[in-house]
Amino acid sequence: MRKRAPHMADDYAFPKGELMRGKKGLVMGVANHNSIAWGIASQLAAQGAEMAFTYQGEELERRVRPLAESIGVKTMIPCDVTDDASMDAAFAEIEKAFGTIDFVVHSVAFANKNELKGSFVDNTTREGFLLAMNISAFSFVDVAKRASKLMPNGGSLITMTYLGSERTIPNYNTMGVAKAALEASTRYIARDLGPKGIRCNAISAGAMRTLALAGIAGGRGMIAQGRAFSAMKEDTSMEGVAGCALWLASDLGKSTTGEVVHVDAGFHMMGMPDAEEA
């Protein structure tokens, strides 16, 4: 029997506690109950964080609102990261709601479906390349600029990436290039904002069953391969990804910045499959 997908925070085995008590922040990129942003937000809420959500557009609100309300999120703001006016309005509302913030989780990416399959060389267009870069990489720089103005006491910026930035993964194509830019941006942001006490890190998660993965040709195969060729021979868990985000968002993450942390059951460091798998 298929395991029921978690719909509410309580369905995950998230540790409860006080690590985020008194901290306020923004989570960008909850689309539904499978979203990585939702798992992370649930974990941060279980540790006492106060949060605002941004979501891509009105049509997602129906799915996102009940999730947000289930963990006490009162501020929900539609926000398209490609639209300056929308970003201006979103950050104005966050400032109005919270004054200052302590963390941002940026869990946003997009590339055209027809560029996430087949030949990278043949299928990549100028428009598609720039769109993927704009939504999946530049938006984090833009978020860092805006969020840092609301972080007078320091803070933590976290983004989500994937191994396709470092190694070639079939069909990941344009998104791999955008993730490479996102990871480099993470380091430059960390350098710029470090003196202000603002840390900036990326979590490189293994393949997980979400809407974004469904857009990649053979996405389910990425999960199976990720499991089969991982050191631990298991799927990447939401608990593991959200736990990493908790470490980085809380004071436990002090002194860690400019880092890309792999949470993928050890898939990233395997040089060759085991002999019997080859």
Q: For the chain, what is the radius of gyration of the CA atoms? A: 18
Q: Is 263 annotated as a binding residue?
A: no
Q: How far apart are CA 90 and CA 84, in angstroms?
A: 10
Beta bridge partners, 52, equal 26, 75
Residue nearer to ligand NAD on the CB measure, 83 or 251: 83
Residue nearer to ligand NAD on the CB measure, 198 or 208: 208
CB of 82 to ligand NAD, least distance (A): 5
CB of 276 to ligand NAD, least distance (A): 26
CB of 115 to ligand NAD, least distance (A): 14
For binding to ligand NAD (CB under 6 A), which residues are involved?
A: 29-31, 35-37, 56, 79-82, 107-110, 135, 160-162, 205, 207-208, 210-213
Residue nearer to ligand NAD on the CB measure, 101 or 116: 116
Q: Is 108 annotated as a binding residue?
A: yes
Residue nearer to ligand NAD on the CB measure, 101 or 163: 163
CB of 118 to ligand NAD, least distance (A): 19
Instruction: List the one residue out of 170, 155, 168, 270 whose CA is nearest residue 221.
Output: 170
Q: Is 35 annotated as a binding residue?
A: yes
Secondary structure of residue 53 in the 3-state scheme = strand
Helical (H) or strand (E) element with 145: helix 139-148
CB of 39 to ligand NAD, least distance (A): 8
Instruction: List the one residue out of 171, 188, 183 whose CA is nearest residue 225.
Output: 171
Judge whether 98 and 150 are in contact, CB under 8 Å. Answer: yes
Secondary structure of residue 21 in the 3-state scheme = coil
Q: Is 56 annotated as a binding residue?
A: yes
Residue nearer to ligand NAD on the CB measure, 80 or 192: 80
The sheet with strand 24-28 has its strands ordered as 75-78, 50-55, 24-28, 103-106, 155-161, 198-205, 260-263
Instruction: List the one residue out of 94, 53, 92 whose CA is nearest residue 70.
Output: 53
Q: Is 64 annotated as a binding residue?
A: no
Q: Is 29 annotated as a binding residue?
A: yes
Q: Is 172 a catalytic residue?
A: yes
Catalogue the active-site residues: 162, 172
Query: Residue positions in the annotated binding site?
Result: 29, 35-36, 56, 80-81, 108, 111, 179
Query: Residue positions in the annotated binding site for NAD(+)?
Result: 29, 35-36, 56, 80-81, 108, 179
Query: Residue positions in the annotated binding site for substrate?
Result: 111
